[in-house]
Each structure stands twice: as structure tokens, then as C-alpha cells.
Amino acid sequence: METTNFDLKEHPHSRLNILTGDWILVSPHRTKRPWQGKVEATQADERPAYDPQCYLCPTNKRADGSENPDYKASFVFTNDYSSLLLNTPDGGLNDDELLVANSQKGICRVISFSPRHDLTLPQMQTAEIRKVVDVWQTEFEDLASYPWIKHIQIFENKGDIMGCSNPHPHGQIWAQNSIPVEVAKETQQQKIYFEQKGTSLLADYVALELKRQERIIFENEHFVVLVPFWAVWPYETMIVSKRHITSIIYFTDEEKTALADAIKRLTVRYDNMFETSFPYSAGMHQSPVNMGDQPYWHWHMHFYPPLLRSATVKKFMVGYEMLANPQRDITAEFAADRLRNLSEVHYKVKA
């Protein structure tokens, strides 16, 4: 409950991220000025449909010397520079519990989303994105069939500002024998909530957000797209399934199509914000595998975009944020309003 004089829109406050247990400092008084949505002349991103130099384009050679097939939809291959390897020996180090290390074993794959070098997810048709969702599902199933794999991270880095090495639309999957830090935090939070209340933390959270209508951007039949109350990045969003689904394995055909629709509509809005190809890191969080039933897990997808005020002004995670905890000026509610009011027709299509 809010106390009498305290106003989330006016007064500095901290917000709890119920999914991780982390906190964020919000300073809404610093953005009392009116919105100055700045659209800058950015470098025209005119790419050919096929680039002979691109390691993802059909029929081209990759670093390992192999040749990509003449694929027509998506194409998956093992990362030629995988961060995790299959043949790492077990073991580690524990010296007086002060120097601690664990061996990590895994599989890293790359997914080209389209044979077209010049597209991005928001420029692809919903039916084409749906095929990417199918691949995510079959890859997840395949990787989960290795009994030693415990966690499968599906993600996309978009834009060179996010360290993406190639503009050809693609994502990655890293599967490994242990649970990474963010996922461990979310597991813990959802488990505690489920044990106390007997319901899914995210199902209850989404129901509350739908009731309050302050941070919802849009919804379709199966997914809600919102700016989380505890968002750190200026235009951070989440796609949450309406049904309490633990992982993508259990998505129905209808849910897969609805996810493609949600991704398309969200990423088009992102591109339209500053009339630029909006960079982000995005990825799914879902139940670990081969560890028994984890009924408290609720599938969701995070989008973490770095841009703040224009196509070139990004948020920095420095100073207080590195040393204490993240901080933001524009509120999650303000960001949701902005995203809600943007067109779902891509600016390049309109032009």
C-alpha cells in the first residue's frame, strides 16, 4: 500500500524486482521535463539481401571451413567459437573455500533467423518469426535430451552497440551442465512464492498488472507485453505467457503463433521509437531441464535495450549502478506509455 504523501511519480524510491530479489533506485523527479523524442539522422542501414562476405548467408563459408546450405527459413549450426565445449573434463578448484571454480561443459549453437541478410525480426513477417519460434522449440527439446544439460539459454543480441558481430538476423543458444546466476535467482524467488501461495509468481503479477493497466503495452490471446515494475533499462520489457507454462516445450501451435505476433509487434514499436534499428539483448527464461519437475517456473522473455533518449544516446551502467544498485530516471510507467502509443506499422514500411 502506498503511504499518504508518497507518490511513485514524484519521489525517489527503490523498487523490488520480485523475480530476482534485486532492487533498483528510481528518481522520477529528474524527468519532470516534457518528452523530447529525438529522431536523429542515423547512418542509413541499407544492406543487400545477400552479402558474399557474411558467414550467415546461405551458401557462404564459415570460420571452420564448412559451407552453409542454401537454406530457405532458419539455419542452426554449432558455434565455431563456442564459449562452452562438449569435452571439458569434470573438476574444478576449491582452496579453503576462498578460491573456488567449477568445470563447465556445454553446447553453443547459432541460429540464423532468415536467409535474408537485410532483415531483422521486426522486418520479418509474423509467419516467418513463427518458424523461428518452431526452431527455438525443437532446439530446446533436442538439447534437453542430453541428460547432463541442466539449463538452455535462448537469446539474441541485436545491434553492434550490444556487441552483435553481424547484422544478419540471428540468435544464439547456450546449453550447459549448471544453472547460471540470473536463472538461479529467478528459480529461488519463484520457488519461495509458489511454496507460500501455491500459485505462479508471474501469473499473479500479470493479473495485477492487467488490473492496474499502468505498465501494459499490449496483449494478445496468449501473451502479455509489459514494462516490469522493476525495469532497469529505460525501455526494458517482458513478454509473459498468460498460461502458467514452465518451458517452450509445452507451447501449443496457437501459443507459438501468438509469441511470434508479440515479438513482431513489440520489436516494430521499438524500431519506431527513434526510427532506428533498435538494439537490445533479449532472451527467454524458463525451467531448467533434467532436474525433476519445477512447477513454480513460468516462461517469460526479457528485452533489455540500452537506448535512452535517441538512436545514439544510451544508458550507462556506471558509478552508483556498478557500486550500489541500478538507477533510472524515467519511470517504468512513462516508458510503458511511450511504447503503448507507438505505431505497429514499421517506419520503413510507412516511408
Active site residues: 170
316 counts as binding ligand H2U under rule CB under 6 A: no
138 counts as binding ligand H2U under rule CB under 6 A: no
215 counts as binding Zn ion under rule CB under 5 A: no
Name the one residue in this structure whose C-alpha cell is 526494458.
236
* Binding span for ligand H2U by CB under 6 A among 19-27, 79-87, 227-235, 307-315: 79-87
Pairing of strands 23-26, 327-328: parallel
Q: Which of 168, 256, 300, 315 binds Zn ion (CB under 5 A)?
A: 168
Whole-number Å distance between alpha carbons of 190 and 202: 8
Return the one option of ligand H2U, Zn ion, none that residue 245 interacts with (CB less than 5 to 8 A, by type). none
As measured in angstroms, the least distance from the Cβ of 31 to Zn ion is 39
Return the one option of ligand H2U, Zn ion, none that residue 157 interacts with (CB less than 5 to 8 A, by type). ligand H2U
Q: Which of 63, 93, 99, 181 binds ligand H2U (CB under 6 A)?
A: 63
Return the one option of ligand H2U, Zn ion, none that residue 168 interacts with (CB less than 5 to 8 A, by type). Zn ion
116 counts as binding Zn ion under rule CB under 5 A: no
Query: Residue numbers of the site for ligand H2U (CB under 6 A)?
Result: 55, 62-63, 79-81, 110, 157, 164-166, 172
Query: Residue numbers of the site for Zn ion (CB under 5 A)?
Result: 51, 54, 56-57, 117, 168
